[in-house]
């Protein structure tokens, strides 16, 4: 199709005809040839159930609760993940054991609401809640999309191996008093400051 | 029963083969489009996805065949049948091989052109009776496009007819024993190809049904098997145009070694693949571009082609 733009110098009819042939014929034939060559190009399709796609480690998929290197639960039930969650799919209740550790009494994620945004992972001060590259979470019943703490908790440390909240924090728990944490000075004895 | 032109066995087998082939094209097109877009296309149902057509058919037959309450029932039901009937009738004059065909009419070319013109009614009626603005726009476009492209579709064939001296498609094939008509009638071939695409309103000339602009155009309101008939009718039109190009310009069934039917099949399949490649590669022109391209470029070109052909034939005599 000839160009609708009016040019300052009118061209000869031969040049116009040449342009018409170039626009209507040559470019179309070139396009046809380029598309035809794709018949011999390897396809990009990943044949999914038989062939697993390559998942990157930063993929935001199924959410897990991890344990610290000592094998204890990392989650301290601070509720920051539940606050950060834009769709309010996380529900938990704090409780305390006899040593003074905080942990969730129940921890429930409704995956039919979860949008895998990863805000909970960002909010978590103890690296307890983490997102993994697993995406195969389809269920037949909607109720099966609600995961409890037993379903979420794994045996290992997940993506972050070092984090160990109670070994760093100043809170005293059974077997670790104030001042015994890593890089922590003993508490100041206020009476010794007397003149 | 004898295996000759017009026998009952002949008619039945041509009917069945043509319809099954047209239905299989749905799968062929999807796979080829897939490969040209670096995908695989449907490959799950059956070997290579061959049974995809069966699955589609089961789906489309069990769908609700809904007629909108605001539609004109008579026209709405009539429209999809017209396109199937008209295109199947056109196949009656196509000579597939020596002894294979339904009628050897001495007005074969004219018959095909007449049936192609009637096909426009299907699209127009479908859009009009739907009482839907998109359908109406689609049928408006279809009417203008098909009427204008029919003009030089006929004229582009006249060169072939003049060279043969007959409207009989079988005689046109026999006249190409010395050489295919695509060589002396190359311009006619290209024009017929373009007009054929426009006539079967396939991409890039699918302006009557342009999904991105007017939903599905004239078959917006259709569902179930009525839509299926439009759909298969489109593929039948594709097979028809490919067969006609084979017969008129590429020597029909003629070829060395292989049996005549195989040659016909190979040649027609090449053109079907080419039409699918057109769909994969070429974008849709604007409506006014299509019209001005037809009337201002292709029509004068086809007239010029006819004129030169006439001069050459007369001077050769």
Q: pLDDT confidence of A143, banded at 50, 70, 90?
A: very high
Sole residue written with tokens 């005549």: B260
* The pLDDT of residue A43 is above 90: no
Q: What is the pLDDT of residue B143?
A: 83
Does the beta-carbon distance from B285 to A43 stay under 8 Å? no
* The pLDDT of residue B2 is above 60: no
Q: What is the pLDDT of residue A81?
A: 92
A82-135: pLDDT as tens digits = 999 999 999 999 999 888 889 999 999 999 999 999 999 999 999 999 999 998
Does the beta-carbon distance from B38 to A20 stay under 8 Å? no
Long-range contacts of B309-317 (CB under 8 A, 24+ apart): B309/B158, B309/B159, B309/B162, B309/B163, B309/B184, B309/B185, B309/B188, B310/B162, B312/B184, B313/B162, B313/B163
Cα B28 to Cα B42: distance, rounded to the nearest angstrom: 9
Interface check A2 vs B, CB under 8 A: no
Cα A96 to Cα A80: distance, rounded to the nearest angstrom: 17
Of B149, B20, B173, B26, nearest to B96 by C-alpha is: B173
Mutate to test the interface with B, among A3, A35, A49, A51 (most CBs of B within 10 A): A35
Interface check A52 vs B, CB under 8 A: no
Q: What is the pLDDT of residue B1?
A: 42
More confident call, A147 vs B206: A147
Does the beta-carbon distance from A38 to B35 stay under 8 Å? yes
Interface check A32 vs B, CB under 8 A: yes
Residue range B103-107: average pLDDT? 81
Q: What is the pLDDT of residue A5?
A: 62
Structure tokens belonging to residue B69: 């309450």
Structure tokens belonging to residue B287: 């409506």
* The pLDDT of residue A6 is above 80: no
Q: What is the pLDDT of residue A124?
A: 92
Interface predicted TM-score (ipTM) = 0.76
Task: Enter the CATH code of domain A63-168.
Answer: 3.30.70.3270
**Dihedral, CA of residue A129, residue A130, residue A135 and residue A138, to nearest 10:** 0
Interface check B2 vs A, CB under 8 A: no
Domain edges within chain A: 11-41, 63-168
* The pLDDT of residue B67 is above 60: yes
To the nearest whole Å, the CA of B185 is away from the closest chain A CA by 18
Q: Give ∠ CA B8-B14-B20 in degrees, rounded to 5.
A: 135
Domain edges within chain B: 64-316
A8-28: pLDDT as tens digits = 566 788 888 788 777 777 888
Query: For residue B302, what is the DSSP state?
Result: H
């Amino acid at each position: 199709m000839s160009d609708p733009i009016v040019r300052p110098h009118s061209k000869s009819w031969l040049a116009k005809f040449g342009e018409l042939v170039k626009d209507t014929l040559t470019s179309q034939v070139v396009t046809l040839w380029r598309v035809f060559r794709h018949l011999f190009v390897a396809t990009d399709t990943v044949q999914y159930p038989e062939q697993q796609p390559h998942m990157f480690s930063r993929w935001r998929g199924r959410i897990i609760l991890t344990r610290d290197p000592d094998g204890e639960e990392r989650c301290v039930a601070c509720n920051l993940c539940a606050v950060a969650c834009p769709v309010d799919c996380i529900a938990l209740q704090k409780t305390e054991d006899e040593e003074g550790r905080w942990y969730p009494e129940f921890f429930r994620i409704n995956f039919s609401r979860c949008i895998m945004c990863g805000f909970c992972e960002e909010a978590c001060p103890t690296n307890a809640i983490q997102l993994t590259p697993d995406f195969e979470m389809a269920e037949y019943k909607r109720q099966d999309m609600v995961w409890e703490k037993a379903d979420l908790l794994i045996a290992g440390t997940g993506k972050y191996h070092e984090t160990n909240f109670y070994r760093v924090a100043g809170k005293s728990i059974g077997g670790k008093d104030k001042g015994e944490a890593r890089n922590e000075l003993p508490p100041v004895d206020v009476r010794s400051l007397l003149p | 029963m004898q295996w000759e032109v017009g026998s009952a066995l002949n008619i039945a087998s041509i009917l069945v083969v043509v319809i099954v082939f047209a239905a299989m094209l749905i799968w062929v097109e999807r796979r080829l489009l897939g490969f040209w877009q670096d995908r695989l296309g449907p490959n799950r149902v059956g070997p290579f996805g061959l049974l995809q057509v069966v699955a589609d058919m089961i789906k489309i037959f069990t769908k609700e065949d809904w007629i909108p309450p605001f539609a004109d029932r008579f026209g709405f039901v009539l429209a999809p049948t017209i396109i199937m009937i008209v295109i199947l009738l056109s196949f009656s004059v196509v000579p597939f091989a020596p002894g294979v065909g339904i009628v050897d009419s001495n007005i074969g070319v004219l018959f095909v052109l007449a049936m192609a013109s009637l096909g426009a009614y299907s699209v127009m009626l479908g859009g009009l009776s739907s009482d839907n603005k998109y359908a109406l726009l689609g049928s408006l476009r279809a009417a203008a496009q098909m009427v204008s492209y029919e003009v030089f579709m006929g004229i582009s064939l006249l060169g072939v007819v003049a060279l043969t001296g007959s409207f009989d498609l079988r005689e046109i094939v026999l006249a190409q024993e010395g050489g295919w008509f695509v060589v002396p009638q190359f311009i006619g071939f290209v024009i017929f190809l373009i007009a054929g695409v426009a006539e079967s309103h396939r991409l890039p000339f699918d302006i009557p049904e342009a999904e991105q602009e007017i939903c599905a155009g004239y078959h917006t309101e259709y569902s179930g098997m009525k839509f299926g008939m439009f759909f298969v009718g489109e593929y039948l039109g594709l097979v028809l145009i490919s067969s006609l190009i084979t017969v008129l310009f590429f020597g029909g069934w003629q070829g060395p070694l292989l049996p005549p039917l195989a040659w016909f099949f190979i040649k027609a399949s090449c053109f079907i693949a080419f039409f699918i490649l057109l769909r994969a590669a070429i974008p849709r022109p604007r409506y006014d571009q299509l019209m001005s391209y037809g009337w201002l470029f292709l029509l004068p070109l086809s007239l010029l082609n006819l004129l030169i052909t006439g001069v050459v034939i007369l001077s050769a005599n």
